[in-house]
Structure 1
Amino acid sequence: MAKTRFRSDGGLTARMGLVAFLLGALYVVFGGVLIYYSGSMAIGAVIVIALGLGQWYFSDKIALASMRAREVTPEQAPELHGMIDRLCALADMPKPRVAIADTDLPNAFATGRSPKKSVVCVTTGIMRRLDGEELEGVLSHELSHVAHRDVAVMTVASTLGLLAGFITRWGMFFGGGRRDNNSGPALLVIWLVSLAVYAISFVLTRALSRYRELSADRSGAYLTGKPSALASALTKISGDMARIPTRDLRAAESMNAFFFTPAIKSESFSTLFSTHPSIEKRLEQLSRVSADLGRPM
């Protein structure tokens, strides 16, 4: 993490560290199985990893294109740039590029492979719905993601799942150089291990994502000193999301991991598979921050 004035949380950091350690252990085990059993399947693995790295390198361009967002200058969006300028000065961090997506979906996101190569994007829908303090709270959350290099962390964390998923779907078609009687059992072992690794890494990555969202809420609230404004923004956005047409929500669902709050929430196993904590959990944390600051919610 780059040195900024965003306040850290020892408990959250420890939980994120544990998840990262477990993912690393999975890498070691999975790598050992692949080395022992695979032949030309390694070529496919290299391709998948390369795609993951490409996603990380071009994450800002991919995200902006997905939302049909455009970068804006200080002359085009003076108030938005002014807020980000103040927050970046307060956090002592480089200013990211600024973009706006013309959609009624009330949301925001930050992406980019490093603080100096990042972009913060807000939708016209969120700008219409939130007042200045609420929007500032959302922006402080997104800038925390930038300062903590969350896009890089989540891309690296998800690469193992991408690799395991690839082998789970296609591994049975790759016999490598092994065409003897032992190739069948070897491929079955790889397929079963890949399936297990994909499932475990999926759950761990989602847990890491939820921790990072809580960390961004907490860091952003302490930076502005106005946790109630961020709580108000969360409440407004989650309430208004229900009035957005389902087709529009589903069109943006692929961006859920980036969004301030997800466009569509899964009803089943929501806690285990969700990219974001529940609204209730986020509001509860902000209430504790408010109490710590001596300010009522």
Structure 2
Amino acid sequence: MVKWKRDMGLEGRMVLTMFLLAAVYLLFLAFLASMGTSMGVMLLFIGLFMGLQYYYSDRLVLWSMKATVVSEEEEPKIHQTVTRLCAMADLPKPRIAIVRTPVPNAFATGKSPGSAVVAVTTGLMDRLNQGELEAVLAHELSHVKNRDMTILTIASFLSTVAFFFVRYSMYFGGFGNNRKGGGNIIVIWLVSIGVWLVSFLLIRALSRYREFAADRGAAMITGNPANLTSALMKISDVMPRIPTEDLRKVEGMNAFFIIPAVSGSIMNLFSTHPSMEKRIAALEKMQREMES
């Protein structure tokens, strides 16, 4: 069994992200209340949406990716690999799902380690050797071990509250009696855009750090950072050759993937992942430390 080292940097960032998001949304709710929006409507909508998100988030993620949970009889090799890695990482074995797409990738989802699902694509299994596949699976199990997938799911939900509430509250007459010529609606829309942008940037910053943490976790579990380096390079090399249509079908899940499926260039500030150069440099440093 691997002696797991707690990543205080990741834990601190998760706590800070949730604290800042909570502060932003409390201010947002206070603003809506000051504009005459019914508090009852706000609480009902948010409570319902949070309940659905918490209980069905993993199913929605799998459904959006058209992932199919497979039994050990259907995919014995990958089940055996995950079972061995879980024993090393002291984790309950997650369910395994397969996504039939040429895009080589993997992700983990679920509310907790006990309800986690690790999914891999057929494109990934076709392109990686056993050592590389183990490294990718260990990376996803590190997300489960760190519980950052839960935080990311909750944080991603919070970033949509402003948009959905502003979009639908008008149908409930939620803007109250203070509305004058639609001016308040414009102000609320502007504030909601600001709230969404702050949430978006906080989530992206957390997402980038969590990938570094999962890379370190994979290296600890497998004891061979070079395999993950090789896997990342293979996936990165293949991604530009994947048809744009296939990438666009899955790029909404980029924050969960081991490497983002992007159909165009994006700025680092808005990226869900650190640059490939930085990830490989960190893994190579770990490899040298282990060898010495």
Q: Which residue in the other structure is 2:129 paired with?
A: 131
Local SS of the residue matching 2:98: strand
Q: Which residue in the other structure is 2:142 paired with?
A: 144
Provide Cα deviations, 1:50-81, integer angstroms capped at 9, x if missing partner.
33442332233222222322222222212111
Alpha-carbon contact 2:226-2:287 (below 8 Å) kept = yes
TM-score between the two structures when normalised by the length of structure 1: 0.87
- Label 1:11 to 1:198 Cα distance change in 2 as closer, same or farther (>3 A): same
Local SS of the residue matching 1:113: coil
Match of 1:227 among 225, 229, 232: 225
Local SS of the residue matching 1:38: coil
Local SS of the residue matching 1:75: coil
Q: Percent identity?
A: 49
Local SS of the residue matching 2:241: coil
Alpha-carbon contact 1:85-1:95 (below 8 Å) kept = yes
Q: Which residue in the other structure is 2:113 paired with?
A: 115
Aligned-residue offset at 1:265: 5.8
Distance in 1 separating the partners of 2:210 and 2:163: 24
Q: Which residue in the other structure is 1:37 paired with?
A: 35
Distance in 1 separating the partners of 2:46 and 2:214: 29
Distance in 2 separating the partners of 1:183 and 1:176: 15
Alpha-carbon contact 2:169-2:175 (below 8 Å) kept = no
TM-score between the two structures when normalised by the length of structure 2: 0.88
2:284 is equivalent to residue 293 of structure 1:
no
Distance in 1 separating the partners of 2:68 and 2:23: 40
Q: Which residue in the other structure is 2:276 paired with?
A: 279
Match of 2:22 among 24, 31, 39: 24
Q: How many residues are treated as equivalent by the alignment?
A: 291
Provide Cα deviations, 1:99-143, integer angstroms capped at 9, x if missing partner.
212222111111111111111111111111111110000001111
Question: Which structure 1 residue ranges, 5 or more long, are not aligned?
Answer: none
- Label 1:272 to 1:53 Cα distance change in 2 as closer, same or farther (>3 A): farther
Greater mean deviation of Cα atoms: 229-238 or 117-126: 117-126
Match of 1:192 among 180, 190, 210: 190
Distance in 2 separating the partners of 1:278 and 1:15: 19
Provide Cα deviations, 1:28-69, integer angstroms capped at 9, x if missing partner.
322322333332375256435533442332233222222322
Question: Which structure 2 residue ranges, 5 or more long, are not aligned?
Answer: none
Alpha-carbon contact 1:41-1:174 (below 8 Å) kept = no
RMSD: 2.6
Q: How does 1:58-207 map to 2 (within 5 A)?
A: 58-169=56-167, 176=174, 178-180=176-178, 187-207=185-205
Provide Cα deviations, 1:251-295, integer angstroms capped at 9, x if missing partner.
111221221111116524x21111111111211221222233226
